[in-house]
Chain A
């Protein structure tokens, strides 16, 4: 089944303790991205990657890191989480629309992160 898999689904952590949220897709998509969803602010892009070793900032990159060493994986790293990073996080992937038919973005099931 074609899908984007995020782990964990739920995470409660303490301020300053480094964490990684994993994201993996099995559709051979070039493009991957991370969003966060907050009440009243909607979904905002954190980082994106056009392909392996190519990453760039989205709208709200502060406090986050990403890497794209393999095409299928795009982990989100919080080096020193703070309470304002409490949010619902989504990973998404899509084909590069410049290279052929595009069927839009596929989203993972979300990771609900609480930083206390």
Chain B
């Protein structure tokens, strides 16, 4: 099946700093999403971005499908950004059931 690797695994920032999270995937995808899992366990959908660039406030994401990677940018980080960030992909090449394959996540801690 498709492989998803995220880096870095852990990240500690001071409030106000910027960061870039990376997601590499092993094959072509028709779905790529970034999620934020908050300390209460909720999975919040940040971006649906199988290709191209999107921005939402302090967050933006870019997926270069031909090179099989995606980047999530967090600018001016806040303590509420803390949690685990997951990249998840799906490819009809591997399964018709459209299951998402999740990376292992980047654990972000923003310190005041």
Contact = CB atoms under 8 A, between A and B. Distances in A.
A35 B48 CA distance: 19
Interface stretch (A12-20, A63-71, A74-82, A106-114): A106-114
Interface stretch (B14-22, B61-69, B94-102): B94-102
Interface in B25-49: 30-31, 33, 35, 41-43, 45, 48
B31 A106 contact: no
**Majority-rule SS of A interface residues:** strand
B51 to A, nearest CB: 13
* Residue of B33, B41, B97, B103 ringed by the most chain A CB atoms within 10 A: B97
B102 A104 contact: no
A35 B43 CA distance: 12
Nearest to A111: B41
Contacts of A105: 31, 33, 45, 88, 100
Interface residues of B, number: 19
Contacts of B98: 31, 33, 48, 94, 97
Contacts of B42: 109-110
A88 B43 CA distance: 11
A31 B42 CA distance: 20
Given A97-B30, A97-B31, A104-B33, A110 B43 contact: yes
Interface residues of A, number: 25
Given A106-B45, A110-B41, A110-B42, A58 B104 contact: no
Nearest to A104: B48
B1 to A, nearest CB: 10
A102 to B, nearest CB: 7
4 nearest interchain CB pairs? A104-B48, A45-B99, A107-B43, A43-B102
Interface of B: 30-31, 33, 35, 41-43, 45, 48, 86, 88, 97-100, 102-105
Interface of A: 31, 33, 35, 42-43, 45, 48, 50, 56, 58-59, 88, 90, 92, 94, 97, 102-107, 109-110, 112
Given A43-B86, A112-B41, 9 more contacts: A31-B98, A33-B98, A35-B100, A42-B102, A50-B97, A94-B98, A105-B88, A107-B35, A110-B41
